Amino acid sequence: MRWFEPALLPGRWSQIGVAVIGTLLVAHVAVQLLIRTVGADGASAELASRFDLDLEGGVPAWFSAVLLFLCAQALWRLADRSASGKRRRWVRHERFLAVVFVYLSLDEMAALHEIAAAPLQAIFGTSGFLSFAWVLVALPLVAVLAALYLGWLRSLPRPAAGLILASGMLYVGGAAGVEMVGAALYAGSEANLDTFHYSMVVLLEEALEMLGALLFMSVITWMAAWRSRPR
């Protein structure tokens, strides 16, 4: 088995996924340039509401939500395969992780994490990189989850485990790491939210999240198919 095989979805779905992500990123840049050229009203405002990566309810948010839900579906299918083999001990791990991804999918569309941001910022008086204070809760939860799943990760084929680790680093790096950079811009002045620099930080954040989710889905889908092969 070549190390990159778990990162390839059946058929051309990996290429299609990357192409869709690339298209959404280009659309975001195009919208930002259009707004700064002709102004943020009329058709340009309508396009921004559909393709700005920083807005909820648009096409990019919908795609990310679907991608995360497909990760959950792949994990549930993997757990079904584990239940009938030597990996029964990991069934609960895989089902619980599927539930986590269902929540992430819901959060992508409804921005549930942002509800906690203002109260946490008021309680802890955060600023700068921690202006989006929800990371104070999210990062410890990610650390706990990583510790709980260390055994599961070690039980996987090494290529798959390495790619899952890479997908997690991409996703968390975008969702929390790059988000903290955006928070620092926000802390300087709310006017920074309208700058091209801020929009490019958002682009990097969302690109890492989507690529991380696509990679994770690819690996889990591959493992479920691999376990289904006749021995």
For each of the chain's 231 residues, which pLDDT tens digit applies? 677 888 989 888 999 999 999 999 999 999 999 888 887 677 778 888 899 998 888 999 999 999 999 999 999 999 999 988 788 899 999 999 999 999 999 999 888 887 877 788 888 888 888 888 889 999 999 999 999 999 999 999 999 999 999 999 999 999 999 999 988 887 766 545 567 888 899 999 999 999 999 999 999 999 998 876 655
The CA-atom distances, in angstroms, between 62 and each of 58, 71, 102 are: 6, 14, 13
Q: How remote is the C-alpha of 170 from its chain's centroid?
A: 8
Q: What is the pLDDT of residue 194?
A: 65
- Is residue 164 situated within a structural domain? yes
Give the Cα separation of 51 and 31 in Å (integer): 7
Q: What is the pLDDT of residue 188?
A: 65
The CA-atom distances, in angstroms, between 197 and each of 28, 103, 144, 191, 200 are: 13, 30, 33, 12, 5
| 218, 18 Cβ separation under 8 angstroms | no
Q: What stretch of H or E contains 1?
A: none
**Predicted TM-score (pTM) above 0.75:** yes
- Is residue 64 situated within a structural domain? yes
Give the domain range for residue 32: 8-227
Q: What is the pLDDT of residue 1?
A: 64
Looking at the 3D structure of the chain, how many domains does it have? 1
Give the Cα separation of 126 and 114 in Å (integer): 15
Q: Which residue is associated with the tokens 């706990």?
A: 144
Give the Cα separation of 67 and 107 in Å (integer): 13
- Is residue 16 situated within a structural domain? yes
The CA-atom distances, in angstroms, between 203 and each of 60, 65, 99 are: 11, 16, 27
Give the Cα separation of 190 and 2 in Å (integer): 48
- Is residue 2 situated within a structural domain? no
- Is residue 100 situated within a structural domain? yes
Task: Read off φ and ψ for residue 34, nearest 5 degrees.
Answer: -65, -45
